[in-house]
Chains A and B, each alone.
Chain A
Amino acid sequence: MKVVLENLTKRFPNRNRKGDDVIAVNNFNFEIPDGKLIGLLGPSGCGKSTCLSLICGLQRPSEGKIFFGDEDVTDLPPENRGVGMVFQNYALYPHLTVRQNIVFPLENLKGDQKMTKQAMEAKAMEAAKLVQIEPFMDRRPSELSGGQQQRVAIARALVKTPRVLLLDEPLSNLDARLRLQTREEIRRIQTETKVTTIFVTHDQEEAMSISDMIIVMKLGVIQQIGKPQEVYDDPVNLFVAKFLGTPPINVFTGTVKGEKLYIDGSQVLDVPGVSDQEVYVGIRPEGFILHDQGSFQVRFGAVEVMGRDISIVSYSDASENPTIRSIIDSSNKVEPEGGIIRFALKPEKVHLFSKETEERIRVTRNR
């Protein structure tokens, strides 16, 4: 089931009534293709959870429409939309067993949708099997680990075979190791059920690793929509560039003069097609190449060994971040001369942004 949002807006009245309304979701327009896993990504307070509530139906939009397929669901209450929702804290009923929790949505069905006990049980077992929690059916949520609770929550959301599955920060309550495991699990479940899934996260790594498509938001406004790699390689503005990637992108202040880029006074790169101006220069950590004759000089700080790669920490007056991080292959030997280290830069890993608007400045590469 594809999900289409049209001019979706949600305004909350300001607390002290004089101020302007708070716009949590500002004029969203996008279409989520059928059967895809979508990551709604943004820092906290950017309206991503509100957006999810709107799609779920727990909140009414101030303006705009929501379509599931061709059906307008904007005015439908949540139970008639056919959505499954997994809450951040899972919201499993503590007084019910896993089995009772999973069966709960089925017991709500009325009229001709009503199911027999056996049918419900079979459905619940099917959902439990999918998320691999069959051994724990008679336990209570408090007797399960966080990851297991998460799976029960997913099973409960899936048991009614929803048209759209919504996950609110599904991994935030898990520890690092479980997070890796669970996100693969979510991907697997999504691939098996082929249900259109939207999940909200503030963790870009999480979103990039499992999503078919990510939507980056800031203050209620969509910044960029695209495949994770595309958004990473080709950010539309400084915010998106900074938000994606660990270690984060290195940002420098620079100047463009005569289609050449200067950082800290030295000419580092040709930037054809860019007019003379002050710019922010974003360089991905993997965009540095150790080079004796490299044009980009920084003060050497330390080397952090990470096994496959090494990370060089260095400093520059032009850097906006306190430290510069560059990741290079560990076969390289780092030999700073007089505390200075030289890099050459990979042009495709260097992004220019306008100093005023922070929007991307495109460089005409193939001339």
Chain B
Amino acid sequence: MDYKSNKAWLYLLPAILFLGVFMVYPLIDVFIYSFEEGYNSASQTSFGVGAYNYSYVLHDPYFLQALKNTFLLVIITVPLSTGIALLISAALSSIKVLKDAFQTIFFLPYVTNTLAVGLVFMILFQKTPYSDGFINNIIGFFGGSAVDWIDGPYWAKMFVLCLYTIWIVMPFKILLLTGALASVNQDYYNAARVDGTSRSRIFFKITLPMISPTIFYLVITGFIGAFKAYSDAVALFGTDLNAAEMNTIVGYIYDMLYGDSGGYPSYASSAAIVLFAIVLTITCINLLVSRKHVHY
């Protein structure tokens, strides 16, 4: 190694040091724990080494429930939130009056505390002995029957969770998409107009490809974010998510570490590694797809 590359390593040292201590080492550690059966963090001992932790986790009905919930959440919220955000951004960029006001309104959820928003959703949806909740009142007004959204059937709870997630992630997506839309050179649209291009063709053939890098960025980060969902569920359904059938993978990991059923770092580690493998796979697929469709 010559002097020059020594110097380069020296410059990299702070980053390597911190990333190593706080990212790489824990990751390796988690990986090791996940194979150590019955690891005890206090005594630093375990019974043995093997794949039993994985077997346990993958057969645990709570984990399977969490896996199902998380997948549903990902599959429903990522396409929906990205699509709706795209529609809203496109609408925002084509209006002139009150554009700034609308942009501010749409951005507000981003700066609002998750738990506070959860409280608002509770008020909207929760059925109490005193009131059916705002949404149920509306449903009742149209002749429907009240649904217990928070403690009721699975689909109702999943619906609220998805709605909440979409609402929470929307502002960031709108912000990025309006920025991307604004950065498309007006000349492209003028050229298309001169050539008599229809509005829908302009949108699908020019606008969409032009902002496709941003869309793919949002999809990838959206997938990762949704897989790591936890606080949203807590905000709506409280900390005992297993009882509510609304647990997520991250929630399961947390429960295994600190929850009422806590004290099982080995199981938590295995679940974390499973989540890691899933997210890694999905992200790789995403990147491969985007490489095929984003050209410039």
**A residues near B, CB below 8 A?**
56-58, 77-80, 83-85, 87-89, 91, 93-95, 104-105, 108-109, 140, 142, 156, 160
Considering the chains assembled together, what is the distance between the CA atoms of A87 and B201 in angstroms?
Answer: 20
A142 engages B193 (CB within 8 Å): no
Of B185, B194, B209, the contact of A79 (CB 8 Å cutoff): B194
Of A56, A108, A160, the contact of B201 (CB 8 Å cutoff): A108
- Known A58-B190, A89-B185, A95-B209; judge A108-B296 contact (CB<8 A): no
A95 engages B210 (CB within 8 Å): yes
Chain A proximity mask over B192-233: 1 for CB below 8 Å, otherwise 0 = 011111100100011001101000000000000000000000
Q: Of residues B185, B196, B205, which shows the largest number of chain A Cβ atoms within 10 Å of its Cβ?
A: B196
A79 engages B187 (CB within 8 Å): no
A91 engages B195 (CB within 8 Å): no
- B191 in contact (CB, < 8 A): yes
Which residue of chain B is the closest to A94 with respect to CB atoms? B296
- B4 in contact (CB, < 8 A): no
- B295 in contact (CB, < 8 A): yes
- B258 in contact (CB, < 8 A): no
- Known A79-B195, A108-B196, A160-B195; judge A89-B296 contact (CB<8 A): no
A91 engages B201 (CB within 8 Å): no
A140 engages B190 (CB within 8 Å): no
Q: Please, which residues of chain B bring their CB within 8 A of the CB of A95? A: 209-210, 212, 295-296
Known interface pairs A87-B191, A93-B206, A105-B197; 15 further A-B residue pairs with C-beta atoms within 8 A, sorted by A's residue number: A56-B194, A79-B197, A84-B194, A85-B190, A87-B190, A91-B185, A91-B187, A91-B188, A91-B190, A91-B191, A104-B205, A108-B196, A140-B296, A156-B195, A160-B195
Distance to closest chain A CB from B209 (angstroms): 4
Distance to closest chain A CB from B203 (angstroms): 13
Of A77, A85, A142, the contact of B296 (CB 8 Å cutoff): A142
Q: Of residues B188, B195, B196, B198, which shows the largest number of chain A Cβ atoms within 10 Å of its Cβ?
A: B195
Considering the chains assembled together, what is the distance between the CA atoms of A291 and B178 in angstroms?
Answer: 70
Considering the chains assembled together, what is the distance between the CA atoms of A109 and B197 in angstroms?
Answer: 8
Considering the chains assembled together, what is the distance between the CA atoms of A91 and B184 in angstroms?
Answer: 11
Chain B facing A: main interface SS: helix
Considering the chains assembled together, what is the distance between the CA atoms of A93 and B295 in angstroms?
Answer: 11
Distance to closest chain B CB from A193 (angstroms): 17
Q: Please, which residues of chain B bring their CB within 8 A of the CB of A57? A: 194
Of B187, B205, B206, B210, the contact of A89 (CB 8 Å cutoff): B187
Distance to closest chain A CB from B140 (angstroms): 49
Distance to closest chain A CB from B102 (angstroms): 23
B 282-296 contacts with A by CB, 8 A: 295-296
Q: List, sorted by A's number, 10 A–B pairs whose CB atoms are closer than 8 Å.
A: A57-B194, A58-B193, A78-B194, A79-B193, A79-B196, A79-B197, A80-B196, A87-B190, A93-B206, A105-B196
Distance to closest chain A CB from B255 (angstroms): 47
Distance to closest chain B CB from A333 (angstroms): 54
Distance to closest chain A CB from B190 (angstroms): 5
Distance to closest chain B CB from A310 (angstroms): 44
Q: Please, which residues of chain A bring their CB within 8 A of the CB of B205? A: 93, 104
Of A78, A88, A93, A140, the contact of B193 (CB 8 Å cutoff): A78
Q: Please, which residues of chain B bring their CB within 8 A of the CB of A56? A: 194
Considering the chains assembled together, what is the distance between the CA atoms of A156 and B188 in angstroms?
Answer: 13
Q: Please, which residues of chain A bring their CB within 8 A of the CB of B193? A: 58, 77-79
- Known A79-B193, A142-B296; judge A108-B198 contact (CB<8 A): yes
Distance to closest chain A CB from B294 (angstroms): 9
Distance to closest chain A CB from B198 (angstroms): 7
Considering the chains assembled together, what is the distance between the CA atoms of A94 and B194 in angstroms?
Answer: 18
Which residue of chain B is the closest to A104 with respect to CB atoms? B195
Q: Please, which residues of chain A bring their CB within 8 A of the CB of B210? A: 94-95
Distance to closest chain B CB from A51 (angstroms): 15
- Known A78-B193, A79-B193; judge A87-B187 contact (CB<8 A): yes
Distance to closest chain B CB from A172 (angstroms): 14
Distance to closest chain A CB from B189 (angstroms): 9
Of A88, A105, A140, the contact of B295 (CB 8 Å cutoff): A140
Of A88, A89, A94, A105, the contact of B195 (CB 8 Å cutoff): A105
Distance to closest chain A CB from B132 (angstroms): 51
Considering the chains assembled together, what is the distance between the CA atoms of A79 and B206 in angstroms?
Answer: 17
Which residue of chain B is the closest to A168 with respect to CB atoms? B187
Which residue of chain A is the closest to B208 with respect to CB atoms? A95
Q: Please, which residues of chain A bring their CB within 8 A of the CB of B185? A: 89, 91
Which residue of chain B is the closest to A59 with respect to CB atoms? B190
Considering the chains assembled together, what is the distance between the CA atoms of A87 and B191 in angstroms?
Answer: 8
Which residue of chain A is the closest to B202 with respect to CB atoms? A108
Considering the chains assembled together, what is the distance between the CA atoms of A140 and B212 in angstroms?
Answer: 17
Considering the chains assembled together, what is the distance between the CA atoms of A79 and B295 in angstroms?
Answer: 29
Considering the chains assembled together, what is the distance between the CA atoms of A109 and B187 in angstroms?
Answer: 20
Interchain residue pairs A-B with the least CB separation, the first 7:
A79-B196, A105-B195, A91-B187, A91-B191, A95-B209, A78-B194, A108-B196
Distance to closest chain B CB from A117 (angstroms): 16
